[in-house]
Amino acid sequence: MITTEDMMEDLIIDRKHPRRIPQQLLLDGDIERLLELAGMLHGHYCPGLALGVKAVEAAFRRLGIADNTGMEEIMAVIEGNSCVADGIQFASGCTLGNNALVYKDLGRTAATFYRRGGDRAVRVSVLRFDASAGNEEERKEGDALFEKAVKRREKLSDAESARMKELWIKRSFETAAMPVEALFTITDVPVPELPFAPLVDSQACSVCGESVMESRAVFRNGKAVCLACAGEEYRMVIGKGIATAKAMRQ
C-alpha cells in the first residue's frame, strides 16, 4: 500500500519559498516533471494543460524570469479560460487568488507575461490548439472520445474512459517535449499598464452578517448590504466566459 509519506518523499516544501520546486524545474528545463505536478491542480492531463506549462517556459525564458514570489511582481494576462489557464497558473505562480493573473474574456488561446517595472512584455499565442504531438491515428481516436464525452456529454464505457485517459496522458507529455517554437507564436508587446490590486476594507452585511468587501457592497440607509442579499446583478466566470447574473439570496 502506498502511503502519503511515500508520495511526499521527494516533494519537500520550503515554507519560506513555497514555489521553489516549480521554479527550479523551469530553470532546469524539466517540463515533464513540471507538467506532472500541474496535474495536481488541474485534476487530469490534457494537451491544454501542457500548452499552458509550455507557454510559461517560452515566456520566462525570453524574459529571463527566474523566480516569482506571488506578490504581483510577475503578471500573466490570459485571454481565455480553457485548460491552458491552469497550466499557466501552476507553472508561473500567477494566480487569480494572488492577483497576478488577469483574465481577458476574448476566447483566444494566448497570454501576455511581464515583470512590473520592467520594459518588456511577451505575448505567447498557440499556433493551433491541436498543434500537439502524437500520431494521427491516436489523435483521431482521442478526439472522437473527447467529442463524445465532453462535447456531447455522453457517458463513456469503462473501457472508453480508460482509453481516453491513456491517450490524453500520452498526448500531453508528448506536447510537453515539443520545442516551444513548434507550438507558439512568441512576440514582444507593449507592457500592459495594469494597476496593483486595490486594498479595500470589508464590512459585515447588515442582512446576513457575512463579511463583504466595501467595493462589492451596496449601501442602504448607510448600512452595507452584500449583492446576494440586495438581489443585485453580479458577474461570474463560468465555462462560456464572463456572465452577468441576478443575485438570489442564499
Give the CA angle between residues 124, 126, 131 to the nearest 5°: 145
Identify the sign of the CA torsion 208, 209, 214, 219.
positive
The reply to whether 152 falls in a domain is: no
Instruction: Say yes or no: 208 and 183 in one domain.
Output: no
- The model's pTM is 0.90
The reply to whether 78 falls in a domain is: yes
Residue type at position 221: N
Provide the CATH number for the domain around residue 20: 3.30.1330.130
Instruction: Say yes or no: 90 and 177 in one domain.
Output: yes
Domain that holds residue 212: 202-246
Which of 87, 115, 90, 85 has its CA nearest to residue 103?
85
The reply to whether 160 falls in a domain is: no
- Count Cβ atoms below 10 Å from residue 205 Cβ, excluding itself: 20
Instruction: Say yes or no: 76 and 178 in one domain.
Output: yes
Instruction: Say yes or no: 60 and 175 in one domain.
Output: yes
Instruction: Say yes or no: 28 and 65 in one domain.
Output: yes
pLDDT tens by residue, the chain, 250 residues: 667 676 666 777 888 899 999 999 999 999 999 999 999 999 999 999 999 999 999 999 999 999 888 899 999 999 999 999 999 999 999 999 999 999 999 999 999 999 999 999 999 999 865 555 568 888 889 889 999 999 999 999 999 999 999 999 999 999 999 999 999 999 999 999 999 999 999 999 999 999 999 999 999 999 999 999 999 999 999 988 999 987 665 5
Instruction: Say yes or no: 176 and 241 in one domain.
Output: no
Instruction: Say yes or no: 20 and 119 in one domain.
Output: yes
The answer to whether residues 121 and 188 touch, using CB atoms and an 8 Å cutoff, is yes
Q: What's the pLDDT tens digit per position in 53-88?
A: 999 999 999 999 998 888 999 999 999 999 999 999
The reply to whether 157 falls in a domain is: no
Q: What's the pLDDT tens digit per position in 163-187?
A: 999 999 999 999 999 999 999 999 9
